[in-house]
Amino acid sequence: MAVPVEEAIAALSTFSLEDDQLEIQGAAFCVTTERGATISPIEYSDVSAYRLSLSEDTKAINQLNYLAREGNEMCSVLYTYRSCVKALPQLPDSMKHSQADLYLETYQVLDLEMGRLREIQHWQASAASKLAADMQRFSRPERRLNGPTVTHLWSMLKLLDVLVQLDHLKNGKASIPNDFSWYKRTFTQVSMQWQDSDTIREELDDLQIFLSTRWAILLNLHVEMFRVNNVDDILQVLIVFAVESLDLNFALLFPERHILLRVLPVLVVLAASSEKDSESLYKRVKLNKLIGIFKKEPMIPSFPDLHLSPASMLKELATFFPRFSTQNRLLTLPSPHELPLREQIVVNLTRFTYQREFSVVHNIGTIRAEHDDFTIRFASALNQLALLRSLDGTDMEWAREVKGNVYDMVVEGFQLLSRWTARIWNQSAWKFSRPCKDPDATDLSETAASPTDYEKVVRYNYNADETKTLVELVSYIKGIGSLMQKSDTLVADSLWETLHSEVQDFVQNTLATMKQTTFKKKRDISRILSDMCTLSADWMANSKPESEMQALQQGGEGNKVNIFYPRPVAPTTAQVHCLQFLIHEVVSGGNLRKPGGLFSNTGSEIPASDLKHLETFFYKLGFFLHILDYTATITNLTDVGFLWFREFYLESSRVIQFPIECSLPWMLVDHVLESQDGGLLESVLMPFEIYNDAAQNALVVLKQRFLYDEIEAEVDNCFDIFVSKLCDVIFTHYKCRAASELLDPSFVFAIDTGEKFSVQPLRFTALFKMTRVKLLGRTVNLRSLISERINKIFRDNIEFLFDRFECQDLCAIVELEKLIQVVQLSHELLSKDLALDSFSLMLSEIQENVSLVSYSSRLASQIWTEMQNDFLPNYILCNTTQRFVRSLRVSSVPIQKPSVPHAKPNFYCGTQALNSAYQSFARLYSAFFGMPHMRSIIRLLGSRSLPWLIRALLDHVSNKIATLEPIVTVLQEALPKSIGLLPFDNGVAGCMRIIQENLNCWQSRSELKSEVLRGVKEIGSVLYWMSLLDIVLREADTSQFMQIAPWLGLVPGADGQVIQFQEGGDSPVVILFKSLASLDVSNHSFLSSSFKILSRQAEAADLLYKSNMNAGSVLEYSLAFTSAALDKYCSKWSVVPRSGFVDITTSKDFYRIYSALQIEYLEETSRVQPNQYGSLGDSVAWGGCTIMYLLGQHLHFELFDFSHQVLNVAEVETASISPTHKSQGHEGLIEAMRKARRLNCHVFSMLKARCPLEDKQACAIRQNGMPVHRIKFQNTVSAFDTLPQKGA
């Protein structure tokens, strides 16, 4: 069934094509080659329809406009001209025989370029001749044709401006004469074979004279102007028109103002060089006014990197025009390079400073206020217009007021854009005219060579404040332009209606009043006013056209004000042109020699009030065309592409292209990123609009593909660097935020400078939403690029942290965890705005732990390697503090580690202050290994890699036991056959002497003894490490149990064991979801299926968590594993006596070996400094006692240990001998033995509690890392194969 069209349209209207991307770029204009309304597409051909005798004037206007367009193309060719000689090959001496062919090919290449210069030469001669002829027609004593109109004057000025700029370019381009000299040299060589070359040689001589003569175009124009008769009158009219336009701001847009400023010095020189009395000029225009204009505008923008100076032009032209050389006041004006920075002059009784006038930084406050005020009022005007369009039957006066307000706001917007863009042009010209003389030494250190001229005028000529204000001003221009462009369709009808209303009000009311009063008896003027009414009056818009026309004809006093209804019908270009001409005729009467300005009322019979009406409407007409060409006007006023072009300096510096560090658009982008100004960050994309405008000019205006290619290459490079630097700034900011949030608050409050750890907010939200960045006609997804780059940075950061940890010892694991927490939090903050990869996935990739069957990881392997190579051999245990510390004994095998890698501060914590704070925190844990480090290991490894590490350590214990077995056998064989109990008769000294005699057999085996002690120490270190791990795991299990117990219905029983609250019943969480599911079924709710799924998931969770409740002990598992490893050597280390009784004297079991090693170790350490006691630490006791306990020898050790026997003797000796003679010389040894006995008793008591020997029960660990509590096993190592292997 087909859907009705109305419903389909209504449905489509509900869809929104807008997204959440903010407008932080300029408006995207389409590339177009059509001419706007300011250059009439019909070229005023409809003027003849109005029968105003303007056909000659219109024809001349069309001709001048056509010449101006051609001249602009010539200027583009000349401005973009680059030397061809540099690219020409040079023949080596071995190929001199081919020199003739090279000359011929060189001539053919250069002839194409010289052909363009010939075209320019011919065109300028033709244009000068036609302009002079046009001026001469209006300088005759008798007036034979109407004109010149205001449009005609502007056409003359524009063509003259083109000739001035063309001549200025020819003077400044040094590569053109160089190429021509090379071309002429090749022509001389090639033309030797030609029969008739005289004509070409004459053309070359003329071209050489044209290129080598400065101001040749103006000199030729001067000759053409005064060839037949003088053109003083028209020159003076042009000067008066230019001065009056500058004074009264008739040139509303800056391009028109620049045209007037560029041609005014030339007009003054041409007028003053006339054969007639030049003083007549200064009667119409005061000399002081001209001097004031030239002083106020010491430099005039001409081309992006080439400006004109009126003072320099006047001084240079004075050498070519002798009559002008007498104008001393004009010739003494200072040139821009002669002006001191702080020079002040008086202009109109005001203090005027050049630096403050041309530098944007001194005017940015006013610009900000203008921008904010205009934005608010323009938005308010648009809101009122939208409200007006949504209402029916509104009041006509209110509607006209609203639309008139919109028109006024558009005009004000154009004026603001023109004024702001002109400020950038003027500042650029000022900077180019005043290069930086002494660049900062810090800036020059980056480059070895001295700075180029372009670097002096751009790179080193803008300080930080000027760069900031330039970014801000470009953002204002593009922002206002985008705002006005978006409202194009909304305001179009209102603008046309307002234009229609303005014209109709003038011709139907103002002119009607003038005809009936002022000009009632002046037929000539009345006829002109009637022509204006006939030309533009829209009588069809009147409410009563017949009566109004009749009343107008009768001149009735009661109907002076006509009521008309505005229509969106704007006047055409020809109508505006004719109206301006007719108003000019009314005011001046066609007299070119009229003193004063156009509306100065000098010698005029028109009353001041009527003259004011005419003047106001006359200037409004000049702005109508810009309003009609709305989009093109905005495009021209917001064009800042000139900030990129540097053709003149490329030629003077003799380089192909400058690096991007010298490019002003990139300087602006880089400043925003480096300064990290929160107010500018959202404008970071605005400088790229300079590249967009420059590319548009390269293709459409200059029409040079190679310029576009250079811009495109620079944009590609700059945008890549921009994305990289922007991502670094974003990553650094969020890294600082994360580090600041994770910093201990008590630490921040305890110091006085805690504010340095705070992070200033930066607004990246707008940039994160940019999915359509407009760049040279392309659309770039900036959000996707940022996400991709940030993902890479996170991976690089994690990789760096692991590389850094691999260069440090195991104590750095706490710092690693803290830094990874900072990275994780910064990833979490960024993930709120960007689509980033999962942090766990990144961490798994860096740890090489992505595979489902991989139980190891990079971190686990590094921890195992570090423990095997450094921790176990070189760290000793302090049982009292439960910490491992590095031994003072120098390792026999030096540890080879790579140097710690260095990286930018943002790979640590972001800033130097935060890095110092976290390093201070890390130093607290860098000198020991204890419980904090174990917690970090568990959190970093997780349940997947931790079993692998446990198995690797236990395998190390098994291997170490196997390594010790032959050494212990050697020591057993070296012992005496019989060692009895120590007698009490000789005291401690005698006992020690007997022990030494029994152990003299080991004197030649000191290395073996040390090897056994080190092996036992490593075994003890591993077992104690497992005990710390067991404590931390039990803490985690307890915390998890406290969270899940209420949901599983678990309660403590009478004997302390955990029991089910309801035997055989479901847990509370299962009961909850089952009851909800059954309730929904009875109520026929659509949620019943969802609750059934949730109930099944609750049952699965119940089974999963209950199965993990019987968690075993890692320490018990380790002891069982060690016991199984020792069972292989039980027959050698624990021999069963043949008699069945305890063997007291002939036993060589392990306890006897360890007892002997212990007493020798204690005696040795008691003779040296007390701090040397830490050479092996308490790990020896843990290892030795564990081995003896698992071998069932702990009771034998307590009975027959040499230290125990000596302590018993010492106690008896202490009781029987006076305190002054007891154990003299052995106090340190006795104290060491007591400490050893206390430690041994502590270890044995712990082992009895955690690993009772009567039933050989321990816990195992499954493949997934989950311990299984108290499972009976066969006491062999193969029983522990369920644990992941070290190499898996």
Helix axes 464-486, 396-433, angle to 10 degrees: 150
Average confidence (pLDDT) over 405-418: 94
Pair of tokens at residue 824: 């994780």
**Predicted local confidence at residue 699, as pLDDT:** 92
The rounded distance, in Å, linking the Cα atoms of 569 and 550 is: 24
Q: Which residues contact 690 (CB under 8 A, 6 or more apart)?
A: 474, 640, 641, 643, 644, 664, 665, 668
Helix axes 464-486, 664-675, angle to 10 degrees: 100
**Beta 1050-1052 vs 1058-1060: how paired, if at all?**
antiparallel
- Amino acid letter, residue 696: Q
Q: Is pLDDT larger for residue 281 or for residue 1159?
A: 1159
CA distance from start to end of the chain: 66
Which of 409, 423, 428 shows the shortest CA–CA distance to 480?
A: 409
Q: Does residue 216 have a pLDDT over 50? A: yes
Positive or negative, the CA dihedral 873, 880, 918, 906 is positive
- pLDDT (tens digit per residue) in 292-328: 888 888 889 989 988 898 888 888 888 888 888 777 8
Pair of tokens at residue 51: 């029968």
Q: Are 270 and 314 in contact (CB under 8 A)?
A: no
Q: Are 124 and 166 in contact (CB under 8 A)?
A: yes
Q: Are 683 and 484 in contact (CB under 8 A)?
A: no
Pair of tokens at residue 1001: 């057999």
**Predicted local confidence at residue 618, as pLDDT:** 84
Which of the four pLDDT bands, split at 50, 70 and 90, describes residue 591? low
Average confidence (pLDDT) over 190-211: 82
Q: Are 581 and 54 in contact (CB under 8 A)?
A: yes
- pLDDT (tens digit per residue) in 1192-1217: 888 888 888 888 888 888 888 777 66
Pair of tokens at residue 1095: 């109930």
Helix axes 232-247, 254-272, angle to 10 degrees: 140
- Range from 57-71, 116-130, 683-697, 1094-1108 carrying the lowest mean pLDDT: 1094-1108
Helix axes 99-137, 175-190, angle to 10 degrees: 120
**Predicted local confidence at residue 713, as pLDDT:** 94
- pLDDT (tens digit per residue) in 1122-1158: 988 888 888 888 777 766 666 777 778 888 888 888 8
Q: Are 964 and 845 in contact (CB under 8 A)?
A: no
The rounded distance, in Å, linking the Cα atoms of 1099 and 1070 is: 6
Residue 342 burial (C-beta neighbours within 10 Å; 0-12, 13-18, 19+): exposed
**Beta 1257-1261 vs 928-929: how paired, if at all?**
unpaired
741 to each of 141, 413, 750, 813, 1180, how far by Cα in Å? 88, 46, 16, 21, 44
3-class state of residue 1059 by DSSP: strand
The whole model's pTM is what? Answer: 0.84
- pLDDT (tens digit per residue) in 1076-1100: 667 655 555 545 566 667 777 776 7
590 to each of 245, 518, 584, 614, how far by Cα in Å? 19, 19, 8, 16
- Range from 33-42, 629-638, 986-995 carrying the lowest mean pLDDT: 33-42
- pLDDT (tens digit per residue) in 546-578: 444 444 444 444 445 566 777 888 888 888 888
- Other Cβ atoms less than 10 A from the Cβ of 377: the count is 15
The rounded distance, in Å, linking the Cα atoms of 1242 and 1240 is: 5
Q: Are 574 and 50 in contact (CB under 8 A)?
A: yes
Which of 761, 764, 760, 759 shows the shortest CA–CA distance to 682?
A: 764
Q: Are 326 and 192 in contact (CB under 8 A)?
A: no
Q: Say what percent of the chain tops pLDDT 90.
A: 28
1187 to each of 92, 961, 1175, 1177, 1190, how far by Cα in Å? 89, 9, 21, 17, 5
- Amino acid letter, residue 282: Y
The rounded distance, in Å, linking the Cα atoms of 673 and 667 is: 10
Which residues on adjacent β-strands are paired with residue 1260?
1268
Which of 733, 717, 719, 848 shows the shortest CA–CA distance to 790?
A: 733
The rounded distance, in Å, linking the Cα atoms of 651 and 303 is: 15
3-class state of residue 373 by DSSP: helix
3-class state of residue 842 by DSSP: helix
Q: Is pLDDT larger for residue 1050 or for residue 185?
A: 185
**Beta 1050-1052 vs 344-347: how paired, if at all?**
unpaired
Helix axes 912-923, 813-830, angle to 10 degrees: 140
- Range from 258-272, 810-824, 959-973, 1041-1055 carrying the lowest mean pLDDT: 1041-1055
- Other Cβ atoms less than 10 A from the Cβ of 388: the count is 17
Length of the chain: 1288
Q: Are 663 and 95 in contact (CB under 8 A)?
A: no
Q: Does residue 766 have a pLDDT over 90? A: no
Residue 75 burial (C-beta neighbours within 10 Å; 0-12, 13-18, 19+): buried
Q: What is the 3-state secondary structure (H, E, C) of 563-586?
A: CECCCCCCCCHHHHHHHHHHHHHH
Pair of tokens at residue 48: 């003849």
- Amino acid letter, residue 636: N
Q: Say what percent of the chain tops pLDDT 70.
A: 80
418 to each of 296, 618, 638, 1128, how far by Cα in Å? 18, 20, 8, 96
- Amino acid letter, residue 737: R
- Amino acid letter, residue 24: I
Residue 621 burial (C-beta neighbours within 10 Å; 0-12, 13-18, 19+): buried
**Predicted local confidence at residue 1056, as pLDDT:** 57
Average confidence (pLDDT) over 872-878: 90
3-class state of residue 347 by DSSP: strand
Q: Which residue has the tokens 């065309």?
A: 625
**Beta 778-780 vs 875-878: how paired, if at all?**
unpaired
Q: Is pLDDT larger for residue 1079 or for residue 452?
A: 452
Omega before 148 within 30 of 0, i.e. cis: yes
- pLDDT (tens digit per residue) in 954-966: 999 999 999 999 9
The rounded distance, in Å, linking the Cα atoms of 409 and 352 is: 30
Pair of tokens at residue 961: 């036991």
Q: Does residue 912 have a pLDDT over 70? A: yes
Q: Which residue has the tokens 């583009």?
A: 76
- Range from 217-226, 509-518, 1065-1074 carrying the lowest mean pLDDT: 1065-1074
Q: Which helix (H) or strand (E) holds 439?
A: none
The rounded distance, in Å, linking the Cα atoms of 991 and 999 is: 12
- Other Cβ atoms less than 10 A from the Cβ of 152: the count is 20
Which of the four pLDDT bands, split at 50, 70 and 90, describes residue 829? very high
**Predicted local confidence at residue 1223, as pLDDT:** 52
The rounded distance, in Å, linking the Cα atoms of 573 and 628 is: 9
- Other Cβ atoms less than 10 A from the Cβ of 784: the count is 13
Q: Which residue has the tokens 């500058």?
A: 246
* CA-CA-CA-CA dihedral for 813, 818, 822, 828, to nearest 10: 80
